Chains A and B, each alone.
Chain A
């Protein structure tokens, strides 16, 4: 379908909260080393789908899935798969910045330490913060509490924290929704610089952001007559925004929705 390799593929994916089916029959191929945006109206299951990719959903009591999510040829939900291992490989950045109430240094170093990193932590922290374009701002205050940073800096620190353990995929759930426009721009620049080495999947409410920052876009929508969401269209971003095939997508991206 696309010229790129696929890194995550979902097959007949349904996601439930207890008896409630929040996401129905999603078939999606996330291309490697690209930025894929998931857009759609509130409550259509974007976050639910995203969290399913690294098995964060199962932390919510009662939630379960059927269908498959294939990551590097392996179904993530097979019995012998370790969810902890999955999250080590597929990292996550959340909607609200949630740095640990520890030093900036410790925020970046902690996960590397628990995963048995053998190299020099100082170097890792420095190179990671540089990758996250945060180094210049924090290099003199590494020992300070992460909570003393601004919201935008905190969010970039959260990206750095995820980068430090070198995952293959980074999932971002509306990472900029709590930030001002300048901080938002910085996050978008950061995403662009990361896509050489990482696959990024981002949920966003911001159409401009999706159009600007992503290579591919998945459009989600509640299926008619139910409260269950599904992916109605998935394509290269410029096609979604200029020549959508689905009428509902067109209405949504042009702001005529609802």
Chain B
């Protein structure tokens, strides 16, 4: 009872429609799809490249007779010219600048986030958010310049020139805090706005004031998202380079005095790789070892932060 109803007049001007709807071989389509896949896959190579090069060269570093893994992790001196390779002075400077930065960025960033998401009028939001974005878009070298030529002189005026060195971790840390503020603010704000309206309305319905809603309902509900923001900020601070390279000081120095200079891991890499670094030198190998430490610590922090965000989403979506 079936009849072929392909009418020939239907095909005017069109290539004849294939009877039976047979699969066409679309080679160009296939090639394009493969190229797109390769483009997508490319970033896997980047990661493999990072892991491979850092791992390989770091291994070369640790195989050198003058280096020892235990000493690398626990040694209190980093003095390549006398074959001392303890990462602690570099790591402590990194932690010190990070801590100072977070001291600024967490309270300010959070406050800005709360203000933007809970208190600001639409008009305020629309002017403040671009300002924060602008702040986030300024190159870090400019922040470094700001730390060295503006913040350091002020610190030295306040605390005395003999207390505060020209290169010091506090100036770098403070400015780094400003740099990271927008990041913490925007990620926390996302977490705050993701708290469902129904939760707030329920609290208002019980007669709570705005503040009580914000502090007793919204903030606790957004806590995990906010902690993700903080962790992301820490990771960013650890990897931050130019501010510390310019303002924190050149030369590894195991100190917790924020007014003294100290070289961070990133700062050290930048200093010794300025100029033509010879491929066979121990300095060349050492930057990969430090890089590996840097990569792993930031990666772990980022993964934790993403994990928290995912868990957080599951709760409300």
Contacts and interface: CB of A to CB of B under 8 A. Distances in A.
A and B touching (C-beta < 8 Å)? yes
Nearest to A75: B21
Contact of B17 (A76, A88, A112, A117): A88
Interface string A146-168: 00000000000000000001101
B10 A166 contact: yes
Contact of A76 (B3, B10, B14, B21): B21
A7 interface: yes
Given A32-B5, A85-B18, A118 B13 contact: yes
Nearest to B10: A166
B13 A85 contact: no
A117 B13 contact: yes
B5 A89 contact: no
A72 B6 contact: yes
B12 A119 contact: yes
Interface string B1-37: 1111111001111110110111110000000000000
Interface string A226-243: 000000000000000000
Interface string B189-226: 00000000000000000000000000000000000000
A57 to B, nearest CB: 17
B5 A7 contact: yes
A256 interface: no
Interface residues of B, number: 20
Contacts of A86: 21
A124 interface: yes
Band of interface residues on A: 20 to 34
Contacts of B24: 82, 84-85
A70 B2 contact: yes
- Which among B1, B12, B13, B21 has the highest number of chain A CB atoms within 10 Å? B21
A118 to B, nearest CB: 5
A251 interface: no
Contact of B22 (A73, A76, A82, A116): A82
Given A88-B17, A116-B14, A81 B23 contact: yes
Interface string A89-133: 100000000000000000000001001111100001000000000
A89 B14 contact: no
B1 A85 contact: no
Given A6-B1, A72-B5, A168-B5, A116 B15 contact: yes
Interface string B240-280: 00000000000000000000000000000000000000000
A73 B13 CA distance: 25
A72 B14 contact: no
A115 B11 CA distance: 11
A168 B14 contact: no
Interface in A200-234: none
B15 to A, nearest CB: 5
A9 B2 CA distance: 10
14 contacts: A9-B2, A32-B5, A71-B21, A72-B4, A73-B4, A80-B22, A80-B23, A81-B22, A82-B23, A85-B22, A85-B24, A116-B14, A118-B14, A168-B6
